Amino acid sequence: MNYTEIPSSKLTVSPFNIRHLTKFQLDTQLEEIKNSIKSNGIIQPLIVRKIKNKYEIATGQIRFVAGKKILKKFPCIVKNLSNQEVIEYSLIENLQRKDIDPLDVAKGLKQLKGMLTGLTFEQIAKKIGMTREMVWRYLSLLGLVPEVQKMVSENKISAKLGSKISTIEEKKQKEVAELLSKTPTDNESEEFIRKVKKEPEKSPKELLNEIVPSQLRITFLAGDEKESVNLPMSYWNLITGLARFKKTTISDIFKTALNNYAKEIGYENSKG
């Protein structure tokens, strides 16, 4: 592979790179990359384009940030790239990374779509190795209110879930996202979102409780009398988790958990 050694002082981050420096400078991976550079140097050259007397980085931005205080020169492949091509290179490179912020991808796709007027989602997707559904999913994140976008960026909810929340009216998005960040399954999340859109007169919390009750009503024996209590769902989640872990029945785990709960509320002689 032919490449050119370019001084780090002549390299600069491209404004068209979809990944923002402020978002990954504090990333713990930077330290790992620095250690790798100290041991092995730069294995994969940066792709750059010349802009006046500088070289703008299209791919390899993280390698540059991690190594610019270590190396005086970087191996680079110089290409004659348009702004559109820089975005395409950046998208292709960063989509392979697990820690990429979905909002960065969404903003990059929006910028690219603005440059490629007349092209369909499917045509844009083919150019960067994505499916039409993936392009739509990322772009839909831009329809979220800022608080929910932040939750997606911080991985409190998935991009897939965020795209579904974007179909809900804005005034309910934050509450729905906060509730869904604690919801156990995808099926329950999808059912909840359908109900929020179908029954706008009810509050999101009320609708979620119809799907995932916060408590279970349990009746058990306390001496010779029957007693009913509300068992928190956290106990039920613990029961099912322990049953899987111990490879035993939910019934056996439930009896133990119920007796412990009975003791907690003062019924030490109760039977499960």
Q: Across the chain, what does the average pLDDT equal?
A: 82
**What are the angstrom distances between the C-alpha of 266 and each of 216, 221, 239, 254, 261?**
19, 13, 21, 18, 9
Is the whole-model pTM more than 0.75?
no
Q: What is the pLDDT of residue 270?
A: 45
**Dihedral Cα 134, 138, 139, 144, nearest 10 deg:** 140
Buried b (16+ CB within 10 A) or exposed e, 154-173: eebbbbebbbbbbebeeebb
Percentage, residues of the chain above pLDDT 90:
30
Strand partners of residue 5: 75
Most confidently predicted of 88-102, 160-174, 180-194, 222-236: 160-174
Q: What is the pLDDT of residue 42?
A: 86
Q: Which residue has the tokens 């979102």?
A: 193
Residue of 172 and 94 predicted with greater confidence: 172
What amino acid occupies position 130?
Answer: M
* First-residue to last-residue Cα distance in the chain: 72
* CA 19 – CA 86 distance, rounded (Å): 12
Per-residue pLDDT tens over the stretch 106-121: 988 888 888 877 778 8
Query: What would the mean pLDDT of 178-184 be, rounded to a whole number?
Result: 77
Contact in structure between 88 and 119 (CB atoms under 8 Å) = no
Q: What are phi and psi of 142, to 5 degrees?
A: -70, -10
Question: Concatenated DSSP letters for 100-146?
Answer: --HHHHHHHHHHHHHHSTT--HHHHHHHTT--HHHHHHHHHGGGS-H
* CA 236 – CA 134 distance, rounded (Å): 36
Q: What is the pLDDT of residue 261?
A: 74
Per-residue pLDDT tens over the stretch 138-180: 999 999 999 999 999 988 899 999 999 999 999 999 999 998 8
The DSSP letter of residue 57 is: E
Buried b (16+ CB within 10 A) or exposed e, 121-133: beebbeebebeee
**Dihedral Cα 15, 53, 33, 129, nearest 10 deg:** 50
Q: Band the pLDDT of 231: cuts 50, 70, 90.
A: low
Q: What is the pLDDT of residue 264?
A: 79
**What are the angstrom distances between the C-alpha of 135 and each of 102, 112, 123?**
11, 11, 10
Q: What is the pLDDT of residue 22?
A: 47
Which strands sit side by side in the sheet containing 54-59, from one edge to the other? 4-7, 73-78, 46-51, 54-59, 11-13
